[in-house]
């Protein structure tokens, strides 16, 4: 797999994550700033390092299942590893301008 093909799969992962919404906030998880890192391995493994808005998020399992299911639909992705971290802790400064506008925070 060429570097360009790897970048294309990572781009498809970003587009997919932009269609997954936090169940409690009407903003997608990518623009919300929950995704810290995406690393696609040519063997078909998508590694996603992410956080949640709060460590005790009641919808965490549903959200992680949704990410796993949707990212696996991408051509070339055979397995999804989601690494949940709370370092650094999420705060609103991690949100994109689009998300801030959506929530009237700008």
Q: pTM (2 decimals)? A: 0.92
Domain that holds residue 61: 3-102
Quick one: pLDDT at residue 57?
84
Identify the CA nearest to 48 among candidates 23, 66, 26. Answer: 66
Across 3-22, average pLDDT: 96
Question: 92: domain CATH number?
Answer: 3.30.300.130
CA distance 53 to 98: 17
Quick one: pLDDT at residue 90?
93
pLDDT tens digits for 35-93?
999 999 999 999 999 999 888 888 899 999 999 999 999 999 999 999 999 999 999 99
Distances (CA, A) of 7 to 51, 57, 90, 101, 106: 23, 31, 26, 28, 31
Quick one: pLDDT at residue 21?
94
Counted domains in the chain:
1
The single-letter DSSP state of residue 27 is S
Which residues lie across from 48 on neighbouring strands?
38, 82
pLDDT above 90: residue 23: no
Quick one: pLDDT at residue 58?
86
Helix (H, G, I), strand (E, B) or coil at 54: coil
pLDDT band at 106 (very low <50, low <70, confident <90, very high): confident
Quick one: pLDDT at residue 19?
97
Quick one: pLDDT at residue 82?
98
Residue with tokens 């959506």: 102
């Amino acid at each position: 797999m060429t570097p360009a093909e790897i970048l294309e799969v990572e781009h498809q992962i970003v587009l997919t994550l932009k269609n997954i919404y936090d169940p409690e906030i009407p903003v997608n998880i990518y623009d919300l700033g929950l995704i810290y890192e995406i690393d696609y391995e040519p063997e078909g493994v998508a590694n996603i390092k992410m956080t949640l808005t709060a460590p005790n998020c009641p919808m965490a399992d549903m959200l992680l299942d949704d990410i796993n299911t949707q990212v696996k639909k991408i051509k070339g992705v055979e397995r999804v590893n989601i690494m949940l971290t709370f370092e650094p802790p999420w705060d609103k400064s991690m949100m994109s301008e689009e998300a801030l506008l959506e929530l009237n925070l700008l």
